[in-house]
Structure 1
Amino acid sequence: MGEKIKLTVYGAEVLCPSCVNLPSSKEQYGWLQAAITRKYGENDVTYKYIDIFNPPEEQPYKGFAERVIEEDMFYPVVLIEDEIVGEGNPRLKTVYRALEDRGLQPQ
């Protein structure tokens, strides 16, 4: 595969008000990374976690973090490239489908 696929997770230390019984954003980020690595290997996807309440100054991260807060999105919000593929409680099937749509193949 050529260029790596970028997966970005936007979340917070505090649980989303509607996500009380779910794992934290950081826990879900780690879980997604482990699941994707098991299925596809570790060479074709880059991972980035953004704290929505303390985002980096650079764009598009800062702008999207503000959008998550302003639009009351359920977090974590999972993006593959620039497409939202999960919100609140991301589904592995949906994430896998988005990765495969971009040419990633299971090992």
Structure 2
Amino acid sequence: MGKNIQLTVYGAEVLCPSCVNLPSSKEQYEWLQAAIGRKFGEDAIQYKYIDIFKPPEESQYKEFAERVVEEDMFYPVVLIDDEIVGEGNPKLKTVYKALEERGLEPQA
């Protein structure tokens, strides 16, 4: 299996204006976690959810949360390690591809 991979989702309780008919950021985070766990297992990925309006004090999270707000990015914004792989309505196919590029293999 691949190395330990960090998947971070930046979102908010309030839906982004362009995402009215989509699930909330938190619901999409939980959906991604479940879908990825089914395909790749639970061990190789660490998950973190960051509220863009109440980010933790660690500068990396705080700075990116501010960037999401300032640049009017569609949220949730999904990062694998430090690469943006989804914005607004993340696509599983794109997320899976990014995970496979980092050495993860689907479970049999």
**Higher helix proportion, which one?**
2
The number of residue pairs the alignment matches comes to 107
Q: TM-score, normalization: structure 2?
A: 0.97
Q: 1:66-89 CA distances to partner (integer Å, 9 max, x unpaired)?
A: 000000000000000000000000
Q: 1:7-29 CA distances to partner (integer Å, 9 max, x unpaired)?
A: 00000000000000000000000
Aligned to 2:33: 33
What is the CA distance between 1:3 and its match in structure 2?
Answer: 3.0
- Give the Cα separation in 1 of the matches to 2:2 and 2:23: 33
* SS of structure 2 residue aligned to 1:9: strand
Q: Percent identity?
A: 81
**Which letter does structure 2 place at the counterpart of 1:66?**
E
What is the CA distance between 1:59 and its match in structure 2?
Answer: 1.9
Q: TM-score, normalization: structure 1?
A: 0.98
Q: Is there any run of 5+ residues in structure 2 with no aligned partner, and where?
A: none
Matched, 1:102 2:102: yes
- Does the 8 Å CA contact 2:2/2:102 hold for their aligned counterparts? no
Aligned to 1:11: 11
Matched, 1:64 2:64: yes
Q: CA-atom RMSD, angstroms? A: 0.7
Matched, 1:91 2:86: no
Q: 1:44-99 CA distances to partner (integer Å, 9 max, x unpaired)?
A: 00000000000001020000000000000000000000000000000000000000
- Give the Cα separation in 1 of the matches to 2:79 and 2:28: 13
**Which letter does structure 1 place at the counterpart of 2:45?**
V
* SS of structure 2 residue aligned to 1:105: coil
- Give the Cα separation in 1 of the matches to 2:40 and 2:21: 29
What is the CA distance between 1:2 and its match in structure 2?
Answer: 5.2
Which of structure 1's runs of 4+ aligned residues deviate more than 4 A?
A: none
